[in-house]
């Protein structure tokens, strides 16, 4: 990655100033810095102590844990979506088979009006179920996209943490 001086952002992590160079916007880098500071504060509230390196290591482990959990959630959501897709495919196949069977039976019925209304009721039920599965599939796909976006943000933050260039201590 090429360092571009126009992409350098100054941040403060655990009372130390750093200059970060990367592809992320300054606003995103500041957001990542806040996230890291929040993680450090969380560790301090839990009684952790140590030097700057200790806190950065513990913070990196905590962020890695967050990333791992998000990936697990994404994988579980993907499994659910794949299962729902299989159910939708099975349902579509059953629907097609039902249509073929119903069309064949329409030629052999004695009271067409009774069978037709029963067929229409069943068809409406099947359509409603298919709509429900499609909506659930759309929701799960949106959820996966949200998880992917969150993972991208955590990956960016992880990359930014690897580029820390200590500049000077501050009292903020």
What would the pLDDT profile of 118-136 be if each residue is shown by its tens digit? Answer: 778 888 888 888 888 888 8
Higher pLDDT, 102 or 136: 136
Q: Which pTM value belongs to this model?
A: 0.50
| Three-class HEC string of 92-137 | HHHHHHHHHHHHHHHCCCCCHHHHHHHHHHHHHHHHHHHHHHHHHH
Cβ-proximal residues to 46 (8 Å cutoff; 6+ apart), any chain: none
Instruction: Print the domain residue range for 104.
Output: 5-169
What is the predicted pLDDT for the residue at 2? 44
Please answer whether residues 160 and 20 qualify as being in contact, where contact means their C-beta atoms are separated by less than 8 angstroms: yes
pLDDT greater than 70 at residue 85? yes
d(CA 112, CA 136): 36
**∠ Cα 23 63 46 (to 5°):** 140
For the chain, how many structural domains are there in total?
1
């Amino acid at each position: 990655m090429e360092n571009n001086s126009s992409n350098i952002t100054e941040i403060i992590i655990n009372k130390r100033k750093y200059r970060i160079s990367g592809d992320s916007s300054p606003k995103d880098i500041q957001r990542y810095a806040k996230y890291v500071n929040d993680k450090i504060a969380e560790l301090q509230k839990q009684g952790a102590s140590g030097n700057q390196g200790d806190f950065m290591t513990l913070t990196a482990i905590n962020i890695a844990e967050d990333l791992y959990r998000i990936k697990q959630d994404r994988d579980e959501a993907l499994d659910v979506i794949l299962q729902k897709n299989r159910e939708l495919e099975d349902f579509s196949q059953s629907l097609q088979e039902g249509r073929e069977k119903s069309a064949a039976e329409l030629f052999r019925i004695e009271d067409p009006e009774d069978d037709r209304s029963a067929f229409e009721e069943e068809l409406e039920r099947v359509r409603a179920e298919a709509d429900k599965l499609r909506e659930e599939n759309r929701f799960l796909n949106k959820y996966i996209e949200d998880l992917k976006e969150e993972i991208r943000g955590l990956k960016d933050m992880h990359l930014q943490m690897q580029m820390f260039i200590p500049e000077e201590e501050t009292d903020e």
